Each structure stands twice: as structure tokens, then as C-alpha cells.
Structure 1
Amino acid sequence: MNLLHVNDRAGGYPASYYAATAAPLAPFAPLLGEVRADVCVVGGGYTGLSAALHLAQAGLRVVLLEAHRIGFGASGRNGGQVGSGQRLDQVALEKLVGRTDAHRLWDLAEESKALLRGLIADHAMPCTFYPGVAHACWTEAQARDTHAYAEKLHRDYGYDQLEPLDRRGIRALIGSKAFHGGEIDHGAGHVHPLNYAIGLAMAAAKAGATIHEASEVLEIIPGPKVALRTATGRVLADHVILACNGYLGGLEPKVAAKVMPINNFIVATEPLGDRAAEILSRPVAVADTKFVVNYWRLSEDNRLLFGGGESYGYRFPDLIKTVRKPLLEVYPQLADTKIDYAWGGTLAITMNRLPCFTKAQPNMLSASGYSGHGVALATLAGKVLAEAVAGQAASFDLLASLPQPRFPGGAGLREPLLVLAMTWYALRDRLGL
């Protein structure tokens, strides 16, 4: 099943709130004929666009191939949250890789947030970084753990951007009686994700990168000069960067064995007007503590953008029905509120939720599997990949050294095994465990 085509029309964006409010971007022409490049980047999301930008700024001939439109995949459909740290917390990372590398990974994550903010400002991108992401805890035990972790980050990592919230504080912020405490991370934030992708594309093109949309890569032939074939052309490149994430398909089996595509879903309500302040009293984004995470924020025109719900299989379910259920668990007062937009998208996860950086061939690098934590980290990944192509591979080598197990059962069994695992964790969510 080719996820590039199964849920979406060719060459277009889904009918999302983001697409409806996207900055204008004229289509880039498809690849025609044969071209040569120092580096060919496959994928027009945050990773690929950031790589193309940084490579072009370094003076390399860069060709980027995107199957549909820039930001077509997870980069243009996600919740827009720019989180701190890695997808695994620092306690888990210290146990997995030791304190020294855990600190290096924390520093890279901090660098990723600064990089994103700097790119938005330096290139006058058509989006705004809004500071603040709240974490909302469903149980008192989770709230205690969250506050203890904030103390650890302050003590061991010097991170002082976390504001603890008790039950009264979280409920005053969120306008829901569902939660027992939490925190606000003032060093994190949120953006319009598609406009950020468009801003990256505009910056990369201005720096000299050549971008081709409607140019799906059908075959990659390794060698000293890698050949990449599309339906209407071919690129011969000294180096290749694979930046496909959940839409990699069968282009590179070594990566596909460790990175699994899954779907996630978001709705946008009608504008809430004065009621918006009752839903979120401060302009922050929110993520809760369920394994199947719910996440939400207000749009600039005061719609509630709410992501959540789970489904199994790669075809999208009834999106409104899927997301309305967790939305109403948090905000039962919105039962009569109209849903104006509903969309799904494909992201990619790894077994341990750490990103998968790998050298698939001597001249072919890949980064993917951000596990829902990719807005800033994927941006940094593009820079790291560009540096590695240029021979500065310290950050790439660190990230590539992270243990990254294959999914059990291979491509044929990984989806049913994921269904079993997700069913179990969803049950735990419902039981409050």
C-alpha cells in the first residue's frame, strides 16, 4: 500500500484548516529530463527542506524532489507543537545512553528550538512562534511525576522554563475539570506548521536549492553516482538525503525496518469567539499524559484545533467521529460546537521513540521516525544531515549511534503487532492506569 496515494488526492493538500490559511506558494515545476546535483534530497517536509536550505547556503548544488506539494505530509498537518527535549525523557535517556550522551541529546534538542525560532526570524517566514506548551495530567500521580521531573531538569540540566500547576492552576488554564495538575513549558511553543514548511521552502529556493514538486521518486539506484528516477526525469547525485518519514514506502528497506508509519487526526471547530477564553485562558498549546496523546491549541481566529483518537490500519476512519470522542472527554461543553475541518496525516514512529538516523549507503543518509516530536527536531535533522554531507558528522554520529531496534516481524507483521500494542495502551488510558 502506497501511503502517498491511499488517503489523499495527487498533488494537493488535504482540506485542513492549515491548507485553508496557508501562505501563497506557487507550485514548483516537476522534474523533466536528467539533471545532476551534488546532493539530491527526497522529501519536501521539515527534514528535507532544512537540509536543502543548509546545503544550498554552503554552496552545493541541491535538487529536492517532492511527490506532491511542499509540506504535504506530516510537516503540513501536525499539531504545530515545538516541544523540549527528545521524545524520550531525560531519565529514560540517562538509563539508555548514559548521562554524558543524555546531556548532549538535551543540548541538541535545545539547539533545535533555537534553530527554528532563528529561521523564522531570519527569513521573515509567514508564521509566528508562540511560546508555551502545557502538559495536562489526568491523575494525581502523573502530576507528582511531572513536577518531580521539572525539578530534575532544573537541577541537572539548568532548565528553568517550567511552571508547575496544581489542580486549580491547570483547570484555570484549560477550562476543563478533567485534570489534576501539570505544568507550562515556557521554552517550548507552537507554530502554524504548513506555513512554517512553506517558509522553509521559500528560504531554500532563495538560497539556490532547486525544488521539484509532483516528482515522486520511483527508484533509487545506488552507486558512486546515485540515480533517482521519477516518472518524468532522473537525477544523478553524488549524495542522497532521504527525508520521507512515514511516506518512505519501499525506497530503502534498511530504514523501513526500523520506522513505521501511523496515522493521526485533527479537527478544527468553528470560531469560538468570546468562548475561546473559557477553553484556554492563555495562548499556549496543550498535550495530555495519555499514551494515545490528545493535543490542542487555539488558532489565530480562535478555533479549537484538537488532535487525538486512535485507529488501526492505514486508511483514514471517520475523522470527526474519531476525534470528537476525546475532545468531548476534555471539553463536554463543546458538544454542540460545529466542526469546520477534519483531516488526517501520516507520521512515523520507531520502537523506542527515538529518531532514526542512519547511513543507508556510503553516500546516502536518512533521518526519520520523530514519533510525534518532529517540528523542531526534524528541522535540526536537516541541518545535521547537511553538515554530515560536508564532512562535519559529530552530531549525526551521535544520533546514528542511538540504539534503534527493528520492528518485530518485519514489514508484514509490524502493523498487526502495533494494533495489539496500541489496543493495550488505549485500554490503559481508558482505565486510568
Structure 2
Amino acid sequence: MHPSPIGSSTAVPLTRRPAFVVFWAGQGVSQLGAQLGQLALPVLAVSLLGASEMDLGVLNAASMAAFLVVGLPAGAWVDRWFKRRTMVRADLIRMAAMLAVPLLWWAGLLQIWHLFAVATVVGVATVFFDVSYQSYVPVLVDRALVADANGKLEATAQVSRLGGPALGGFILTGVSAPLLFAGEAAGYLVSALCLLRVRDSEVKPERVEGSRLSHEIREGASFVARHPLIRRVVLSTAVGNLFSSITYVLMPIVVLRELGFGPAGFGTMLSIGSIGGVLGALAAPRLASRLGEGPLLPLGLMVGGAAVVLFPLALASGPGPLALGLLSAGEFIMSFGVIVFNVMQVSMRQRVCPPRLLGRMNASIRCLVWGVMPIGSLLGGWLGERLGIGPTLWVGIVGQLFACVPVATGPFFRLRQLPDAQGE
């Protein structure tokens, strides 16, 4: 029997639940720090280390490869462990890896391969953190409040993404990019400290005697494969992530080198895009009540996929305010649509999955939908060097539009409400 969270009555709002508030605050600060590092990494690679298209492809692939390599066993391990403790350890590992970048820079030793190594270590730790994180929300709050909790967490993440890139771009006008990695490390430290303060009802999962890791992995993957709605969501997300990686691996070169906007322009574009994400997270519950949860899921993905058409148009327009406006508008609309889609599909997954399978379910999905991203990053870098940046952007865009087909042709438009429990 899954234990009820402390104060599980749905009459008590999340903002009055100390455990959730502390968890929420820690993740907000961590997300802000992560945005500083997200801006610093491409700026450091392109502007200070002279990275090529292929270098950026390898760098992005290194950060995401862990989801493909250790994603499935990570889910089985997380289902055996305390999820909060796993997140604390992952945060401390990411903090240490990020601090290595400014230390190497101060010593005059920093090279591009160091960034590959740091990205790999952070990627492995992030696998364990993210699988635990998505599995922990239903432990921390009552299942009836899972969608509300996800909406608040996602809105806060988007607010951090709103302020982080703009703050990072401003900081980069006065300091060097490696120093921003210290800001990301500080964010991970705050997250770990807040997690240590959280009080929850989590108990260590009971393990069936003689159960093998391979069997536990298959059990989680089988649940994903059998569920008709989750199966379509995973297929759409995997195809979309593959082709979005082709597009986004080249964006630092588009913004910093081809259009010459610099770190401040790059940060401004990302921040404006995050406004769309914030609005998407806040609007998702209201849109779901008006349009229905089922139709909103494919509509969000379709809007997000169509918005990236503005990116190659910005490149073709050349340096100037029009290009920055097109890039920012594309980021804004894309973020709005994708976040609406994510709030709907993640909440559905958490509600329909049995608690004992949450870690393995999330890990199976992450392995598939994030495991394709290093492939897309490498492919984007390779195509960028051979076809050129503009044609490669169009390849990514066509693929992202095609990714909408599985959810657009499924039963979602006929479902006013997405299922709340397994079997509904």
C-alpha cells in the first residue's frame, strides 16, 4: 500500500504544505543556477574555445548520452532507493563537476575536451536526479494534486529560465563565461540543502527476493509499451526531440557567430522564450478546463512544432532587429506549446502508473525520448558542416512537425479528461 503524503487532504493548498514549499524553493534556485550554466556553456565553447559545428554536436551529445546508456538501469535502481537521498547525491556530484570548469580556467588549462568530460558527468548525475524527481512528486503530494504540483514546479522553472539567461547575458558583459559555472554549482548546492530539510512519508520500496535487475527493467518498459496513450506520447516526444536536437545544437552558432548578437542577445532570446514557457505552465489548467485535457495535449505539441519555422527565417533575414524578433517569437511560441504539452502528459503518466513502477516508467521514457538527443546533436553538427546551417535547420523543422502525427491521430481529441488511474 502506497503511503499517503503528510497532510494529504486536498483541502490544504500546496502553498501551505511546508514539505512541498521547501522542495519547490530548492528547485527554483537550482533551475536559476542551471540557466546560468546553460548560457555559459555554448558561449564558452563558441566564443572562447572556437568550437565548430561538430564540437557543439559532441558537447550536446556528451550531456545527453547518459539517458541512452544508463537510463534504463537507473530507473530500476531508483525504484530500490530513497528518491530524496538520490537527488541530494546527484546535486552534490553536479556541483563538484561544475566547479571544475572555473578552476581549470583559472589554472590556464581549460580545453574543449574538459567541457565534454564535465558534460558527461553532469549528464549521468542528471539521469538519476530527473528519474527520482518525477517519481518523487506523487510521494510528496496527494495524487489529486499532482497536476497542480507539476504546474507550479514547471512555472517556477520557466520563471528561472526567464531570469537566468538575461542575468547571465548581463553578467557576461563584465566577467568571463567560466565564472557562471560557479553560479550553477551554487544552485545545485541550494537544491541539496533544501532536499535535506524536506520531511516526507517515503519508505524504502520492498524488493522481491531474488528479483533481477533485468526483470525489473523489462517490467517498467513493458508498462510503457502496453499503455496506448503513453505509447503515442513517447513516440511523438522521441521523434520531436531527435529533430529538435538537430535544430538547437546549431542555435549558438546562429545567434553568436552568424547573426553576431553576442551573449546578451542570446540571453535575451532565451528569456523571452521563457516568458512563453511561464504562460504555458500557468495557462495549462485553464486551457484544459476549456478545451479538454485530451485535445490540449496534441494541440500544445503542434503549436510548439510550428513555431520553430521562424528560426531559419531569422537566419535568412540577416543581422538586425528583425532577426532577433523572429528568434525571440519562435522561442516564445515554441516554449508555450511544449510546456503545455509537457504539463499534460507528465501529469497523466504520474497518475496512471502504479507507485512501485514510477521510477522504471520514467526511466524507460527518458531513455527513449532523451536517448535520441545525442544522436540528433551529432547528426546536427555533421549536417551543419556538410549541408550548411540553413538547410540543416529546415531538416530539423520538418522532423518536428512530423513528430506531431502520433498524438494528433490518436484518441486524444475525443478525451475530455485524461485517465486518472490505471485501467480508466
**TM score, norm. by length of structure 2:** 0.27
Q: Which has the higher helix share?
A: 2
**TM score, norm. by length of structure 1:** 0.27
